[in-house]
Structure 1
Amino acid sequence: MENPTPMRVLGIETSCDETGVAVYDGQAGLLAHRVYSQADSHARYGGVVPEIASRDHIRKLLPLLDETLQASATERLALGGVAYTRGPGLAGALLVGAALARSLAYALGIPALGIHHMEAHLLAPMLEEPPPRFPFLALLVSGGHTMLVQVAGVGRYRLLGESLDDAAGEAFDKVAKLLGLDYPGGPALEQLAKQGDPDRFRFPRPMTNRPGLDFSFSGLKTYTLNTLRGAAEFDDQIRADTARAFQDAVIDTLYLKCRRALRQTGAKRLVVAGGVSANRKLRERLAQLARTSGARIYYPRIEFCTDNAAMVAYAGWLRLSAGEHDSLAFDVTARWPLPELREPPAR
C-alpha cells in the first residue's frame, strides 16, 4: 500500500479457543503478537466448551495485553485505535474481547472497530512478503468455515461457494475423534495419515461430480464411520489407512473446487487461509495446481493460519485508517455472513 497511514493499532482475538493480542504499526508493520492456546483445557472434553473458553479469555487477556505492549515497546497512549473480533464465533468468548477493547478505547479516547474474523483470515497473507495484489481468489478453510471468495478489494467480496454442512476443519476434528485422537484433531489426523496406505481405501470426493463450487463434508464423515464399523478389527493400521483416505478425499475436493474456481473466474492469484491451510499435503496438492494453471498461491505463515490477533490488528488498521469506527453502543455477531461487509470509505 502506498503512503501507509502511521496509525498504531492494537488487535484482540477471542472468537473461540485462542486468546490473541497484537500491535500493528502502519509504517513499521507488525511489532509484536502473542497467542495463548486453550487446547489443553478443552482436550479432556474432545472439543471446545464455550463456558470454559470464555473464562480462559477473561483470565489470560489482560496479562497477554501487557506482555504484547511491552514486547512492542508501545505505551497505551501511543495507540491510535483498537480492533477486536466482533464475529463470527462463540458469543461469550467474543464478548470478552469486545468488552476489553471498547473499554480501553473509551478510556484512551481512540476509535475502536469490530472486525470480521474471516475477513481477517482472508487478509492474513498481506502480512507476508510479497503480499498478494487485488484482485484474487480466496479459499478460506477453518474449523467453522469453508468457502471460496472472489476478492476485488477490501470489503469487495463475492461468495462463490461454501460448505452446506460441516466445514473441512470441523470434519477433520470429528473424524479424528472417531479415530481416538486427542483434540485438536486436525494436526493429529495429519500425522496419523502419514503412516497410512494410500491404496487401501478410496473415499468419495463430495460434490465434485456436479456443477458449482459449494462443499459438503458431513457425508464424508459418515462414510468414514461406516468404514470403521465394517472393519474386521480396529487396529493401528486401519486407523492410519482410514485417516489417509479421509485426508486424501478432503484435499482432492478442495483442489478440484479451486481448479474449477480459477477456470471460472480467470484469476491468477489464489489466497489460502484458515487453520486447514497449514496442512502440508494440501499445500503440496495446491503447488501442483499452481504449476498446471499458472496461478500463484499465497499463504499466511504457519502461526497465522490458526486464530491470531496479528490478522485482526492488520484488518483493523486498514479500516480504521480509512476512517471507519464503531459507535459507543456495541455488540457481537456470532453468525455474520462475509458478503455483508462493505468497502471502507475512500481516503
Structure 2
Amino acid sequence: MGELGEFALIERINAGRVQAAGVLLGPGDDAALVAAPDGRFVVTTDMLVQGRHFRIDWSSPHDIGRKAIAQNAADVVAMGAVPTAFVVALGCPADTPIDVVDGLSAGMWAEAARAGGSIAGGDLVRSPEIVISVTAFGDLRGRAPITRAGARVGDTVAVAGRLGWSAAGLEVLSSGIERSDAYTDVLAAHRFPQPPYASVLDHLVDSSAITAPAGPVEVPTALTDVSDGLLADLGHIAEASGVGIDLSRAALRDPALETVAEHLDTDAAQWILTGGEDHAFAATWPPEANLPVGWVPIGRVRAGHGVTVDGVRRPGRGGWESFGGADSVAGPETR
C-alpha cells in the first residue's frame, strides 16, 4: 500500500468496474450521485475492525469483503428495500500487501452485485489495523418500509435462511480442532454469510402479487435480519411492537447442524438461538398468509412481552452485544 500510494490504489480498485443502474455517477468526482426514484432512501452503516470482527488468518480478504457488504445489504433488505449503492471507507496499515486490498475489493464488488447494487465510492486512510466501514443505500420502490414495530398478536413468526451455521463455524475455528470435510459448510457460512435476499425481495416486487385482486398483498408485518442472534433480534421486534413471541424448539431443529454439534460435544440449539451473523431474515406474517417459498414457520406472536421457547424464557442476553461482556478477541467473528 505504501509503495503504490492512495490515488494509484483508488484507480486500481475502480478499473473496469461497471456501476449498477441506481448509481448515476460513481467514483472520480467529489461525491457520487445515486438515484432516489421515489424520493426516499433506506440508509444504513456498519463497521468491521480487524481482531474484533474478523481475523485474516481465519478468513480470506475476499470473504471479509463479501461479509462487509452482506451485513449492510441484509439491513437494507430487512426494511423491504432493494440495495442500490454502497460507499466504502477502508483503513489499513501502509505495509498491507496489495493482494489483500485486491481481495477485499473483489469480495465487496461480488457481494454488492449479488445484492443488486454496486460500490459508488468511498475513502482510503492509513490506520493501525484494517478497518472497513460501509454505508448502504436502498430503494423502497414506492412501498412502505417494513419496520420492527408492526407485529400483531396471532401473527406467524417465520425465518428465511439458515440459523446457527456461522456460530458453528466460529466454534470450529476457536477450538483449533483439525479441519475436515465435516466442517466445510459451517466454516464457509461463518467466513462469508449469504443472506437470502431473494426470499424477501422476490415476493415484494412480484407484480402479480402487488396487483392481485383477491385481497391485500401478503407482506410481513415486521421484519429483521438475524445479525445478533435469533432471540436478540426477535426481542427487538417484540419490544418495538409491544408483543411477546413464542418459538417452537422442534421447528428450529436442524439435523445437519446437530451432527456438527455432536462432533464438538455441544448444543446446536444454542447456536441457532443466540449465534447471529448468519444474516437470515426473521419476520412476522399475518396468520392467514401463505408464506412465500423459502420461509419456514417457527413460532407465533402472543400477548405479553419478550421471547420464549416452548413457553420458557431463556436466561442471558440471547445474542451479541458490542459492549457486553468481556472484550476478548473479535466480536461476533471470534466472540
TM-score (norm 2): 0.30
Higher helix share: 1
TM-score (norm 1): 0.29
